Amino acid sequence: MDVWFDERGRNVLPPVDDSAVWQHTLTIGTCAAGGAVLVVLVGHFLVRRVALRHRLAEWDRAWARTEPQWTHRDA
């Protein structure tokens, strides 16, 4: 059985093996990629929402100018 000590002579856990390093790397990479995808999707949703509001406001203004001609009444 191997025993590991730190620079102060305290008993410590052995260093991690290669499979643990790869597992940690893949976990962090997957989380980072998922986070990046989430940021892009949320940004896309917010931009679409703002654009839709602006477009609907523009349609309301255009209808306010056009409606009196179509319905022959004052808006």
pLDDT digits (tens, 9 = 90+) for 52-75: 999 999 999 999 999 888 887 764
According to DSSP, residue 61 is labeled H
Single pTM value for the model = 0.64
pLDDT digits (tens, 9 = 90+) for 25-50: 999 999 999 999 999 999 999 999 99
Enclosing H/E stretch for 69? helix 18-71
Q: For the chain, give every domain's residue range.
A: 25-62
Measured distance CA(71)–CA(75) in Å, rounded: 9
Strands 4-5, 11-12: pairing is antiparallel
